[in-house]
Chain A
Amino acid sequence: MNLPPIMGDLVVLVPVVTLVVFAALTLLFGVFTRERAALGGLALTGVIAALVFTVFLWLQARAGGVAVTALGGAFRGDALSYAFSFIILIGAGLAVVLADGHRVRLQLDQPEFHPLLLLAAAGGLVLVSAGDLVTLLLGLEIMSLAVYVLAAWRERSRVSEEAGMKYFLLGAFASAVLVYGIALTFGATGRFDFAGIAAAAAAPDFAARGLLLLGALFVLVGLAFKVAFAPFHQWLPDVYTGAPTPVTAFMSVVVKTAAFGALLRTTGTLVDALGVGPIGEVLPAVLAVSIGLTMVVGNFGALLQSGVKRMLAYSAVAHAGYVGLAVLAGGDAGVQAASYYLFTYTFASVAAFAVLLSLMDDDDRGDRLERLAGLGRRRPWLAAALAVIMLSLAGFPPFAGFIGKAVVFQAAIAAGHAALAVLGISTAVVAVVFYARVVMTMYLREPDAHTPVARPIPRRTAVVMAIGLAATVVFGLFPGLWLDWIARAPWWSAGF
């Protein structure tokens, strides 16, 4: 019996290990001292260290031109994993700073909060770097278990508890479906690793194509829950609304990016493995229907909301639909488009929640649109920031959201999904209505006696907003900064 070389290039594990070590340090520091103010800084140090290691490994891999693997191929360092790890760590860093600015008010300074954030980010890194379905499951669980707790964070808050419980029950159900899909895929191919699945399916005497399709569908459903593709999106608005706002920001960037990284790799492998012919067409067709539904449900759902946080939650569903177009397109173009979309969405989304945080009540509730009335005159800078982000999310040039939609639609059309791209463009027009409503309320509507005054912004929150705004503008004006960087990697491959 031959065993694969077990260790491989262990250096690709360094970013994940860094996050886990800092999670342990933060946890122990938190329980052994009363020093609550330092926890955020310690966590941020961990995220930045992991980011530095990721960039270093990424540059090294580009110079070497090959993907590296560790632990017998279970963990991969390739363009997909580095690009998505980079986005995840940026999102995590911004969310940590955002939480730190409001930690006392929102009770985010318990010693467990930051370790859970770090572990969730570590799980995200494992998820996008997984070379087999079992590692993927582990990454998904590490991330999800931490986020279930974070969503239920606020003590004695019924909405927060409810958010945690709903997320947990549906998430656990989705995981079970995913595990069953993994079991069936193993049954069909005898392998768990993506390379092995592809090789087994490519063999001329491969007979279990039907079983593989069933397994692939189950795996797809499990991941669709996490990225919130319709009809598996119902948990998202409730959970986003109920979770503490910094956690919502974290989920909207880290969890989403990680889940999409895994989805890109998995669908890329499974669609190829199933090949052409009637059985091979089922998976893309199911995906296409789901993505079309996601764009419609997300945008029209957002249109009906009167709360800004809930509107952003529904719009997160809609954005998942747009990234889904890139997943469906597949290949290098699809992965690149998805990475640009998620990269710029990370900045815009965190900045939007940062503005929202300074408008909501002390108990993190109260997000009605009317609260924004007159903000344009009362707090011109805050209003301008929110306006730019709303316009970017709506897809107005010259902001990054416009380029993001453009590359995604382009990838979809190039891959032969023109009808779906047209549906995407039409729903994006609907999206303009609810984003513009926010801008118009700020600038055109007069505040009345009940309109609360926005609280002063903590300096750290202002930093998050400034970074988010700057990136939205800069990457909108110069999209090549990311797109060329990504495309120049000659070793780009979604699969393995």
Chain B
Amino acid sequence: MNVPTEAYVALSGVLFAIGAMGVLVRRSAIMVFLSVELMLNAANLAIVAYARHWAGFDALAGLTGQTVVFIVLAVAAAEVAVGLAILIAIFRDRSSTDVDALAEVRL
């Protein structure tokens, strides 16, 4: 069975949109994190799909694309570590991860 590249990209677009919606509507900082992770993984899916597509024309493009996915994964992991650290600092102070409660600095 040969799934066309467009199908993967369409799925990744849907995942990205779900993640973006999550960032906009969820109130818990943890859920916002998870949504961002979903967006990053949607991008990863698109990159591997395109890497397979381009590998047919240029083997190096295929390898490059696959390696980039590793880098994006590492970036995502580092982001989670930093984000959770900040979240823990906040939680220690106010026992809540509700992003709407972050209104100390007034406009």
Contact = CB atoms under 8 A, between A and B. Distances in A.
Nearest to A186: B50
B40 A176 contact: yes
A344 B16 CA distance: 40
Nearest to B54: A190
Given A148-B86, A161-B89, A191 B105 contact: no
Given A141-B79, A183-B50, A134 B105 contact: no
B25 interface: no
B75 A161 contact: no
A145 B54 CA distance: 32
A192 B64 contact: yes
Nearest to B83: A168
Chain A binding surface, main DSSP class = helix
Contact of B43 (A145, A183, A238): A183
Contacts of A183: 12, 43-44, 46-47, 50
Interface in A152-169: 152, 155-156, 158-159, 161-166, 168-169
A179 interface: yes
B82 A184 contact: no
B29 A184 contact: no
A241 B107 CA distance: 10
B59 interface: yes
B58 A190 contact: yes
A169 B99 contact: yes
A302 B95 CA distance: 34
Given A134-B68, A180-B16, A183-B46, A168 B40 contact: no
Contact of A163 (B39, B57, B82, B105): B105
A2 interface: yes
B7 interface: no
Contacts of A163: 105
Nearest to B81: A145
Contact of A165 (B19, B29, B61, B64): B29
A186 B43 CA distance: 11
Interface string A224-255: 00000000000001100110000000000000
B66 to A, nearest CB: 11
A312 to B, nearest CB: 14
Interface in A129-152: 134, 137-138, 141, 145, 148-149, 152
Given A169-B32, A191-B61, A237-B107, A175 B75 contact: yes
Contacts of A172: 33, 36, 79, 83
B87 A165 contact: yes
A165 B91 CA distance: 11
B46 A145 contact: no
A238 B46 CA distance: 34
Contact of B72 (A161, A168, A179): A179
A180 B85 contact: no
28 contacts: A1-B59, A3-B60, A137-B72, A141-B79, A145-B78, A145-B79, A149-B86, A156-B93, A158-B94, A161-B93, A162-B90, A163-B105, A164-B86, A165-B87, A165-B99, A168-B82, A169-B29, A172-B33, A172-B36, A172-B83, A173-B20, A175-B79, A177-B20, A177-B39, A183-B44, A183-B47, A184-B46, A191-B61
Interface of A: 1-3, 134, 137-138, 141, 145, 148-149, 152, 155-156, 158-159, 161-166, 168-169, 172-173, 175-177, 179-180, 182-184, 186-187, 190-192, 237-238, 241-242
